[in-house]
Amino acid sequence: MVTFDGNVGAVNPHEDAATRFDILIGAGDFNENSQPGPAFQFRDVNTTSDLHYAGQTPDALAAGQNVRVSAELGEYEATSCLLLLEPTETSFR
């Protein structure tokens, strides 16, 4: 398991689903001009139940929000340079 301060870089629908999303997670605080560090992704998740929110949560998950992530490590995709994560707890900071 890994825990780190990160940010939501993008939230996109997973394939044709209306309630399933692919969420790009970057390391550290959100900065629209640069994104240092590795890129992570929660893939095919429901934002209501799969992110396991802790603490105060906003009405919606959106790009630009800073989060604290705890997750199980998944596979690394060399073609997309993404490390897939399975969220175990997500909180907003």
For residue 39, the domain's CATH number is: 2.40.50
38 vs 90: which has the higher pLDDT: 90
* Amino acid 4: pLDDT: 97
Q: How sure is the predictor about 72, in pLDDT bands with cuts at 50, 70 and 90?
A: very high
Task: Domain of residue 77: give its range.
Answer: 2-92
* Amino acid 13: pLDDT: 98
Domain count, the chain: 1
CA atoms within 13 A on the CB side of 84: 12
Statement: residue 37 has pLDDT above 90: no
User: Does the CA dihedral 39-6-11-76 come out positive or negative?
Assistant: positive
Q: 20 has which bridge partners? A: none
Could you give the percent of the chain with pLDDT greater than 90? 94
